[in-house]
Chain A
């Protein structure tokens, strides 16, 4: 059953669940953060509307810098502004920032230890028709490997808004992963959000669960649907929303493994280096249990509808169910 303590969207399983792009939540959050703190500035590399920085630009044109198609400059100009006391948010597609400008992010933002916030939109294969060049499925790996970087992957537009507002108040370099497509609203305004905290969104009505699913981003919704469906078949599942991938909520992950002894991770990202790897690193050292990984298996994306691609790359409900079955047999 849905964890009532989280004040989640009660309509999340209905056929006409409200759907909003996660990037929309970022745009609204940035506008709010900008109103709350005049040091918040926005920089974009020629994708202002697509990344929803246009809300901020229209309200605060003097605090918006159009960088042009120049993602390396984007990262380092932001670093310079942060050195002068600003809180810069930089946006592009995730494939270009943090993709194209990784070294600038490492050296001029993280090594310099300045509070630049990197919002990468259009992450995952569900970008769809644009094809593999534009589908960032390596971004979690390349950001979480950098010392000091905080990595957040919100599950819906509401959580993205909260994550954006929250990260504007921290001194840490931060990557916020955003998606293009409309995705179901899972949380509500009243759902607690804290950077670094994972939360149980689904649990058995009573007693311990036998499988723990740890999911991040929009695929969380599919994980929740699987938990509900299997619950009706007598499989007891707990689903953890892991919005912050770094620092990982190790206590929550270890507690889930201790309770369930079987873990499934779900992410729209390469299995190599993503959420699954982060979970495996923590459990291997602290409480080793069998893990099944749902993610992209060392291949590039391609054109198609988001749903076609989610199925093709083994990220859909059927794939999650298969992973649950596999991990229970191990």
Chain B
């Protein structure tokens, strides 16, 4: 059994991803603040993970044999919350409480409010360390017979934090085969394009030099995403990173690839309309294609 969530095919994943994107837009509009570009850009990978790859049980979030997901770039939590809600961890309606007083959906993830998450995050750069700590503990507990995978999501701008490289070094040394990092390579950060702010390329060569298995994929191609996760799981002697080239703001043409959408929600009527129109049009298109 790979998952206790209803499994999806690449075709149905695309449809589910569109629902997740609509939820992200709605929760951000309701919240009035938060990050838009990263969550929309990572929606396809989160959807593929939660509805096809991950071993988890939303009805029993503390299930000991589950895979672990660590969101290091906590600011893209709208995509985590929306994917978890659609997976059945909590009612989709609750997404509207994002960032509100008393909500389980804190502005940045706090696992005390939502214990189904593995960690709290927000300050960048420490998630990979925590994931590898989990993987080392698992090796102590269950040795090579462990079937758990430890997935860590990172932003590309986040990799400017030095602590990541401390963790990348140690994971390479420890040959943690069950540790899988996913980098959201969307080339934007708050102050502009990553290669202007602090160049990150060649991203793949950097990870390779630290003894990681490296794949670079189109983060919006479900076949490629599923294949990459499979390849990463099959690597037996080193940690694995999937550098996912994504389009920030993906799904809403008016938002795509623009750094200014990193840290704000749709606010004006025009922006809200643009988001809804684009995603609803896409939804109809997917429905029609699936019915053909």
Question: Which residues of A approach B to under 8 Å, CB–CB?
Answer: 41, 62-63, 65, 67-68, 70, 72-73, 75-86, 88, 103-104, 107-108, 111-113
Contact = CB atoms under 8 A, between A and B. Distances in A.
Contacts of A113: 112
Contact of B140 (A63, A77, A104): A63
Contacts of B129: 72-73, 75-77, 79-80, 104, 108
Interface in B93-143: 110-112, 118-123, 125-126, 129-138, 140-141
A73 B136 CA distance: 13
Interface residues of B, number: 30
A309 to B, nearest CB: 32
B166 A85 contact: no
Contact of A79 (B110, B130, B140): B130
Contacts of B5: none
B162 interface: yes
Nearest to A101: B163
A67 B138 CA distance: 17
B167 interface: yes
A81 B135 CA distance: 8
Contact of B141 (A77, A79, A84, A104): A84
19 contacts: A68-B169, A72-B125, A73-B163, A73-B166, A73-B167, A75-B129, A76-B126, A77-B136, A79-B129, A80-B119, A80-B133, A80-B137, A81-B136, A83-B133, A85-B141, A107-B122, A108-B130, A112-B120, A113-B112
Contacts of A103: 123
Contacts of B125: 72
Interface in B163-220: 163, 166-167, 169-170
Contacts of B70: 80
Contact of A112 (B119, B137, B138, B167): B119
Contacts of B133: 76-84, 88
B163 A72 contact: yes
A82 B112 CA distance: 15
Contacts of A79: 119, 126, 129-130, 133
Contacts of B134: 80-81, 83-84
Contacts of B141: 84-85
A80 B178 CA distance: 14
A84 B138 contact: yes
A294 to B, nearest CB: 36
Nearest to A71: B166
A1 to B, nearest CB: 49
